[in-house]
């Protein structure tokens, strides 16, 4: 049996109408849908991953949807390419598909993942520019299962969330391997004995408010946590606790916390969050610096620099309030991260999380401010 040649039952319907280059897929898809009575999903138990390809405008972080594919998992589906799957038709511009047994698909339907599986992406008709991949899971989470996006050009493995949307930006340049059709694939795997992940601090922010400092932080994997403590230092070396916060206990969510320090000193103030596990394990967040007082210098600084891991701490002093556009490029000019930062105070410290650990080297961070001015910082990653 051959797959039905349409992906429009679930992928990119509105964007296809808006894109004349893909409109032919709509017409062909509806023609074959009329005769394919097995295209509908079985009732209950269906899991899915929607993968979208965007053009990314790094100057204002806007995107244009170019293509998308869908993978569905259900015990009623098969490993082989069947009528339940859907062919991929070539667009005039960028194309994203999946390959299986020599066939390029737009919709692939497979059995529920038991221990491992791989989605082999096919990417073609790209140009030298920045793109964005977006992965949107539905009902994919299983205890112990994990997924990574493997980039054969950069040699990286980026975690793909099975519960929330994952965004990965990438560049195509003059190197042939950067535009390889088989550059990307998603690999699913399971661990033999699933164990809770340590708590992850996804953001830490320090904000001056009327000579006080409000510390805000967000965490994931809040499992077996007894509580949090906010710690303060005037020199960035010796810390003391300035407040305790109880856990919310919502283990499947991103939890947000805050605490106000009433006694900061004029000038530099350093803060970090300590998590206390029920078994006595302690973990610290990134340290943020908050400058208090009216005589602080203007500008944006990175603290500390060199940086390590996947967090960059920005200190904004007397800067305009509004949306900031951030773009981090490596020594080859490849964009490894781009994001938008909403700033609500002229003096604030913001921790920026990168999708994956930054490889050692020299980087350039471009910061476009709400007033349109551009500030560039050189970063050294260890």
Give pLDDT tens digits for 134-183.
999 999 988 788 899 999 998 888 889 999 999 999 999 999 999 999 99
**What's the confidence (pLDDT) of residue 36?**
36
Tell me the domain boundaries of the chain: 13-190, 196-296, 299-382
Model confidence band, residue 270 (pLDDT cutoffs 50, 70, 90): confident
pTM: 0.48
Model confidence band, residue 105 (pLDDT cutoffs 50, 70, 90): very high
CB 218 within 8 A of CB 203: yes
Cα 284 → chain centroid: 22
What is the per-residue pLDDT across 118-143, written as a single tens digit (0 to 9) for each?
Answer: 999 999 999 999 999 999 999 998 87
Residues in the chain: 382
For domain 299-382, give its CATH number from 3.10.129.10, 3.40.50.2000, 2.60.40.10, 2.60.40.2550: 2.60.40.2550
CB 199 within 8 A of CB 275: yes
What is the per-residue pLDDT across 39-60, written as a single tens digit (0 to 9) for each?
Answer: 444 545 789 999 999 999 988 8
- 279 compared with 111, residue with greater pLDDT: 111
**What's the confidence (pLDDT) of residue 198?**
64
| DSSP output for 258-287 | EEEES-PPSEEEEEEEEEEETTS-EEE---
CA dihedral 333, 334, 340, 346 (to 10 degrees): -30
**What's the confidence (pLDDT) of residue 5?**
44
Cα gap 214→261, rounded to integer Å? 6
Q: In sequence order, which residues have a C-beta less than 8 Å from that of residue 39 and are 6 or more positions away?
A: 4, 6, 9, 33, 83, 84, 86
What stretch of H or E contains 311? strand 311-317
Cα gap 62→325, rounded to integer Å? 10
Question: What values do phi and psi take at 22, rounded to 5?
Answer: -110, 5
With H, G, I as helix, E, B as strand and everything else as coil, classify residue 30.
helix
Q: Do domains 196-296 and 299-382 have the same CATH topology?
A: yes
Q: CA neighbours within 13 Å on the CB side: how many for 14? A: 2
Cα three-residue angle 219-209-352, rounded to 5 degrees:
35
Cα gap 186→122, rounded to integer Å? 12
Model confidence band, residue 184 (pLDDT cutoffs 50, 70, 90): very high
- 337 compared with 20, residue with greater pLDDT: 337
196-296 belongs to CATH 3.40.50.620: no
Residue 130's nearest CA partner among 367, 324, 333, 311 is 333
CB 76 within 8 A of CB 85: no
Cα gap 229→209, rounded to integer Å? 20
């Amino acid at each position: 049996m051959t797959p039905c040649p349409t992906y429009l039952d679930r992928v990119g319907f509105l964007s296809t109408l808006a894109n004349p280059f893909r409109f032919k897929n709509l017409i062909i898809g509806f023609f074959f849908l009329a005769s394919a009575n097995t295209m509908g999903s079985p009732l209950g138990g269906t899991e899915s991953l929607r993968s979208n390809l965007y053009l990314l405008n790094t100057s204002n972080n806007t995107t244009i949807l170019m293509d998308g594919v869908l993978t569905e998992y259900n015990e009623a589906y098969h490993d082989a390419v069947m009528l339940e799957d859907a062919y991929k038709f070539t667009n005039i511009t960028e194309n994203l598909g999946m390959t299986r047994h020599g066939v390029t698909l737009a919709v692939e339907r497979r059995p529920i993942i038991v221990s491992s599986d791989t989605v082999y992406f096919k990417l073609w008709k790209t140009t030298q520019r920045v793109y964005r991949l977006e992965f949107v899971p539905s009902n994919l989470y299983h205890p112990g299962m994990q997924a990574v996006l493997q980039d054969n050009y950069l040699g990286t493995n980026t975690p793909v969330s099975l519960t929330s949307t994952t965004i990965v930006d990438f560049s195509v340049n003059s190197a042939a391997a950067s535009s390889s059709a088989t550059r990307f694939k998603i690999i699913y795997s399971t661990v033999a004995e699933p164990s809770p992940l340590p708590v992850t601090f996804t953001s830490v922010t320090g904000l001056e408010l009327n000579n006080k400092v409000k510390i805000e932080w967000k965490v994931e994997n809040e499992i077996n946590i007894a509580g949090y403590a906010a710690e303060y230092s005037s020199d960035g070396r010796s810390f003391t606790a300035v407040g305790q916060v109880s856990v919310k206990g919502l283990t499947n969510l991103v939890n947000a916390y805050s605490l106000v320090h009433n006694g900061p000193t004029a000038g530099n103030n350093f803060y970090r969050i300590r998590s206390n596990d029920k078994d006595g394990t302690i973990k610290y967040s990134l340290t943020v610096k908050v400058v208090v007082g009216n005589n602080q210098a203007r500008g944006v600084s990175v603290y500390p620099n060199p940086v390590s891991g996947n967090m960059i701490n920005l200190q904004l002093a007397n800067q305009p309030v509004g949306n900031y556009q951030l773009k981090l490029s490596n020594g080859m000019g490849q964009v490894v991260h781009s994001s938008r930062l909403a700033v609500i105070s002229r003096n604030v410290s913001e921790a920026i999380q990168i999708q994956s650990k930054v490889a050692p080297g020299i980087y350039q961070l471009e910061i476009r401010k709400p007033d349109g001015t551009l500030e560039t910082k050189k970063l050294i990653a260890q």
